[in-house]
């Protein structure tokens, strides 16, 4: 009985995904879609990377789009620019991220919002909160909470076992460090 129920559930899921893909088809003419499903990166997803996603992106394995706005969920996520709530094992945003990012590894060019994960990396500025085992950003306007926190400049607070501030009055200070 359970096997029949599982088969019926799987059929419903597959039919739903197919219907969503068919409904998203007209969006190709507009270079945007409300739904993206990624099976294995840029060459194995419903729409090409140039298509803007405004809605839901499911990264069954991996997805890559230049612009993403909405909800981004799955294993591996890559974008040039993103305004989203994302939960993936790996989150990669080349330039700007605005929103909430949760994952094992989050790497952004610049970020506004919240990054939560084991390793959080921001190449330039973060305005908001980084919380993880290792947090790194060039410029922090906000709070870093982690085992190891590193930044070049800080307008805010670092809370962690090791707090490194390259251009500060105290370049190393354990437990709590602040600069304004």
Note whether 86 and 77 are within 8 A (CB). yes
Instruction: Supply the pLDDT for residue 57.
Output: 97
Q: What is the pLDDT of residues 20-47, one digit of tens each?
A: 555 555 544 569 999 999 999 899 999 9
DSSP code for 166: T
Indicate the domain borders of the chain: 2-179
For the question of whether the overall pTM of this predicted structure is more than 0.85, the answer is: no
| 40 CB-near residues (< 8 Å, 6+ apart) | 61, 62
Rounded distance between C-alpha atoms, residue 144 and residue 5, angstroms: 47
Q: What is the pLDDT of residues 131-172, one digit of tens each?
A: 999 999 999 999 999 999 999 999 999 999 999 999 988 888
| Burial (0-12, 13-18, 19+ Cβ within 10 Å), 15 | exposed
Rounded distance between C-alpha atoms, residue 86 and residue 58, angstroms: 10
Instruction: Supply the pLDDT for residue 27.
Output: 46
Q: What is the pLDDT of residues 47-101, one digit of tens each?
A: 999 999 999 999 999 999 999 999 999 999 999 999 999 999 999 999 999 999 9
């Amino acid at each position: 009985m359970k096997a029949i129920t599982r088969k019926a559930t799987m059929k419903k899921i597959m039919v739903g995904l197919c219907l969503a893909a068919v409904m998203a088809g007209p969006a190709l003419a507009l270079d945007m879609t409300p739904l993206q499903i990624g099976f294995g990166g840029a060459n194995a997803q419903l729409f090409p990377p140039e298509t803007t996603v405004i809605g839901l992106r499911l990264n069954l394995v991996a997805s890559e789009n230049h612009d993403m706005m909405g909800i981004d969920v799955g294993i591996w996520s890559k974008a040039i620019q993103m305004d989203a709530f994302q939960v993936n094992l790996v989150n990669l945003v080349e330039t700007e991220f605005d929103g909430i990012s949760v994952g094992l590894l989050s790497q952004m060019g610049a970020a506004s919002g919240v990054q939560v994960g084991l390793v959080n990396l921001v190449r330039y500025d973060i305005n908001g909160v980084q919380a993880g085992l290792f947090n790194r950003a060039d410029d922090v306007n906000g709070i870093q909470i982690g085992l190891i926190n590193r930044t070049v400049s800080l307008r805010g607070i670092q809370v962690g076992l090791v707090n490194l501030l390259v251009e500060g009055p105290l370049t190393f200070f354990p437990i709590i460090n602040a600069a304004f």
